[in-house]
Structure 1
Amino acid sequence: MKSLELVNIRKEYGDAVAVDDMNMTIRKGELVSLLGPSGCGKTTTLRMVAGFVAPSAGSVLIDGRDVTHRPPYERNTALVFQSYALFPHMSVAQNVAFGLEMRRMPRAEREAKSLEALRRVRLDHLAERYPRQLSGGQQQRVALARGLVLNPDVFLLDEPLSNLDAKLRAEVRSEIRGLQQALELTTLMVTHDQEEALTMSDGLVLMAGGRVRQSGSAQDLYERPADAFVADFVGRSNVLEGRVEGGSFRMKDGTALPGTAVPTARYYTLRPEKIALTSPDQGVPGTLREVLYLGAQTEYTVLLGTTPVTVIRATPGPDDTLARLRPGDPVGLRWNSADARLLDS
C-alpha cells in the first residue's frame, strides 16, 4: 500500500498540450477518479503514471520515490485496460498468472497466487476456460484478477466498466470498490461516467482541456462547484445565465431569482432535486412544459420566462396534486436560496 503524487505534470505533443501543470496526491489506500469529457487528458495522465507515456515536465512519485523516468516494469503498478486485453489463446488461469511468469516466479507459487486472485473475484471455478467462453462481466473480473495478483503499489483502472450494460456495470462497480477497500489498494481510475465517480471514489479530480478544474470529495464537487462547468458536469444542474441587479439575480429575459451573495455573478446554478413544485403564487411563476415519468422519480421541465428549468421529484401518488399536472399548466418553483450557487465564471 503506497501513496501516489503528481507534481507539475505536463505533456505536450508538438504544439498541443494534453496535460497542463497537473498536481495531485492520492493517499495510501484511497481510490481517486479522474473525471472529465473525452480528450481532456485523463487517460494520458493515467499512462504517465503507468510509465507508458513520458511526461514533458514534472514528476511522478510513488510513496515518495521518483519513478518519472523508470520503465513500467520497475514501478509495480497494474493497469486494467478498457478493452480487458486478455490473451485469447490462454486460459483464465494462464492469463492471471502471466505477469507472475514474467517476474520469473516458480510455477507452483504463481499457480497458487493466480487461483487466490480468481477466488477474490469469484471466478476460480472458471480457471480452465478461455476468454471467448466468458461473458463481458466475467472477462472484466479476469482482468481485475490479473492486476490484483501482482500486489501492485498503485492500481490503475482505465474506464473499467464502459463495455458493460447498465445492470452489470452496477454489480461490477460494487465488486471493484469492495476489493479496493478490502485490500486497501491505492487506486487511480479514469472515467467519464459521473455516477461511477460519485459512488466509487474517495476523491475526484475533474479535468477539462488538460487542466484540473476542481478536485476534492464527491460532496465538495457536487455541493460546492468552483464554476459553472463543474456544476454542469458533476451530476445534473440548472445553469442559468444572467447578472445580479436590484437585489436579486436576473436572468437574461428579466426573470428575478433569489440570491445576491456574489455581486459579480454571471451564472445561477441549482440542482433539479432541490426544487419544489408549488402553485404560481407560492414560488417563482412558470409554465409546465413537459412531464417525464422515470419510475421512482418524475422529471418536470418548467419554463421560467423563456428558460427551461429541470425539476426532479419522487413520483407522486395518484391522489397527489402533482399527479394532476399537465403540460401548459401554470406552476411555481420554490427552493432554499442556500441551495443555489452563484458563480462568476
Structure 2
Amino acid sequence: MGTLTLDALSRRYGATLAVERVDLTVAEGELVALLGPSGCGKTTTLRMVAGFVPPSEGRVLIAGRDVTRLPPHARDTGMVFQSYALFPHMSVAQNVAFGLEMRKVNRAEREARVREALRLVRLDGLADRLPRQLSGGQQQRVALTRALVVNPAVFLLDEPLSNLDAKLRAEVRFEIRALQQRLGLTTLFVTHDQEEALTMADRLVVMDRGRVRQVGSAEELYERPADAFVAGFIGRCNLIPGQVEGRGLFRTAAGAVLPCALSGPPGANMLALRPEAIAVAPGGADGMAARIFAITYLGAQTEYHMDLAGTRLFAVLPTPAEGSAMRALAVGDRVMAEWDPALARLLCAAPGDLPAPETTG
C-alpha cells in the first residue's frame, strides 16, 4: 500500500472548469470520502486518479511515483464502479481472476489468490455462478473482490452502494469499512450520501462547483464548518441570513434579533444553528417566544417547525413521553425556543450559498 497525493489537480471541458486545483493527500491505510452535490467534480476527480480522465493541470502520485500520464492498468489501483461492471458471461471466479490474467499472473497463483479473495468476502461457495444468478449485494462483493485481488496500492470506489436498497446498503457499508481496515487499504471513496461518508470515512472532502470547500473529520465538519455551504451540506442545519447586530447578537433578514456566538469571521452574513441545539418548552410570551406551524413525529425523535418573529426554525428533540406537556403541543401553540449562544455560529456565505429568507406571512 502507499499514499495517494493530488497536486493542484484540475480538469477543464472547454471553458468550463470542472475541477479546480485540488490538493489532497490520502495517507497509507486511510479512507477519504469525496462528498458533494451532483456536478461538484468528485467523480471527475476520482476518474483522474484512476486514469480514465486526463487532468488539464496538476499531478497524481501513488506511493511517491508520478502516474499522471500512465494508463489505468499501469497505476496500481483497483476500482469498483457504480454499475459493478461485471462480465455477464463469466463466472464469479472468472470475473475476479480477470485483473490477474491481464497482469500475466500464472494460473496456480491466480487460482489460489481468487480462492482466498472469495473466502475473505464469504463468496467461496458461489465461485461458479454467473452474475445474473447473484443478489445485488453479492454482485457488489464480486466487484469489490475483483478490485482487491490484484493487491492495489490505492483502492477507488465510485458510489458502489447506490444500486442497493437501504437495509442492504447499511450492511455492505459495514463490510467495506471492516475489509478496508483489516487490509490497511489506502482508499478514495466517492459518494453523495452523507450517512455513508460520515460512517465510513476517516476524513471527508466536501466539494462544490469543482472546488474543495473543507477537509476534515466528520466531527470537525459538523461542529466546526468552514462556511455556510459546509454547514448546510453536512447534516441538517438552520441557516438564517442576516447580519451581525452587535457582540453576541444577530439580526435576521426577517428582522428578528437572535443570540449568537460572540465572534465570527469578518463579513459573517449567516447564522448556523443545528436543530438538536434548540430547546423547546411550552408557553412563552416575550423574547424567544415562537409559534409552532408543523410537528413531525419520527418515532424516537420529533421535529418542531416554528416561526420566531418572522424567522423559521426547526428543532429536533427526543419524542416526549405520553401525557407530558410537550407531547400535548399542537400546531398553533406558542413555545419558548432557546439555545446556548455559543452553538449559534456566525459564518460567511457566498451569493450562491445564500438561501432565500424564510419568513411566514
TM-score, normalised to structure 1's length? 0.97
- Following superposition, the deviation at residue 44 of structure 1 comes to 0.6
Q: 1:283, 1:334 within 8 Å by CA — same for their partners in 2?
A: no
1:261 aligns with 2:291: no
Q: Distance in 1 between matches of 2:348 and 2:145?
A: 46
Measured after TM superposition, the shift of residue 305 of structure 1 is: 2.4
Pairwise mapping of residues 267-282 of structure 1 onto structure 2 (< 5 A)?
Answer: 267-279=270-282, 280=284
Tell me the residue number matched to 1:344: 348
**C-alpha separation in 2, matches of 1:236 and 1:304:** 19
Displacement of 1:104 in angstroms is 1.4
Change (3 A) 1:337 1:74: same
Report what 1:198 is aligned to. 198
Aligned-residue offset at 1:108: 2.2
- Quote how far apart the aligned CAs of 1:79 are: 0.7
Gaps of 5+ in 2: 350-361
Q: Which residue of 1 aligns with 2:122?
A: 122
CA distance in 1, matches of 2:184, 2:285: 54
Give the AA of the match of 1:268. Answer: L
The question of 1:139 aligning with 2:143 is answered no
Deviation per CA, 1:89-123, whole angstroms, max 9, x where unpaired? 01111111111111111222212211211111111
User: Is contact 1:3-1:186 (8 Å) kept?
Assistant: yes
Q: Which residue of 1 aligns with 2:69?
A: 69
Structure 2 CA distance for aligned equivalents of residues 186 and 140 of structure 1: 19
Aligned partner of residue 326 in structure 2, secondary structure: helix
Instruction: Name the stretch that deviates more: 262-271 or 208-217.
Output: 262-271
Offset of residue 155 of structure 1 = 0.2
Aligned positions of 1:280-291 closer than 5 A: 280=284, 284-291=288-295
The alignment partner of 1:245 has SS state of: strand
Q: Which residue of 2 aligns with 1:325?
A: 329
Aligned-partner SS, 2:327: helix
Structure 1 CA distance for aligned equivalents of residues 113 and 21 of structure 2:
40
Residues of 2 paired with 1:146 and 1:282: CA distance?
A: 64
For 1:195, the aligned partner's letter is E
How many percent of aligned residue pairs carry the same amino acid?
63
Please give the alpha-carbon distance, in whole angstroms, between the structure 2 residues aligned to 1:269 and 1:306.
Answer: 17
Q: Distance in 2 between matches of 1:269 and 1:301?
A: 16
Q: Pairwise mapping of residues 173-322 of structure 1 onto structure 2 (< 5 A)?
A: 173-247=173-247, 248-259=249-260, 260-262=262-264, 264-279=267-282, 280=284, 284-322=288-326
Alpha-carbon displacement from aligned partner over 1:56-77 (angstroms, at most 9, x marks no partner): 1111111111111111111110
Partners of 2:175 and 2:224 in 1: CA distance: 29
Aligned length: 345
Where does structure 1 lack aligned partners over 5 or more consecutive residues?
A: none
CA gap 1:286/1:73 in 2 versus in 1, 3 angstroms: same
Is the Cα–Cα contact under 8 Å of residues 282 and 334 in structure 1 kept in the other structure? Answer: no
The one-letter code of the counterpart of 2:273 is L
The alignment's TM-score, normalised by the length of structure 2, stands at 0.93
SS in 1 for 2:117: helix
1:97 matches 2:121: no
Q: Secondary structure at the match of 1:86?
A: coil
Question: 1:246 Cα shift?
Answer: 4.3
Deviating more after overlay: 121-130 vs 255-264:
255-264
Q: Hey, what's the Cα distance between the residues in 1 that align with 2:286 and 2:278?
A: 13
Q: Which moved more, 1:38-47 or 1:271-280?
A: 271-280
Tell me if structure 1 keeps the 8 A contact 2:34–2:205.
yes
1:320 and 1:48 mapped to 2: Cα distance? 57
For 2:119 and 2:316, the matched residues in 1 are separated by 42
CA distance in 2, matches of 1:272, 1:160: 31
Give the superposed CA RMSD: 1.3
Alpha-carbon offset, residue 283 of structure 1: 6.8
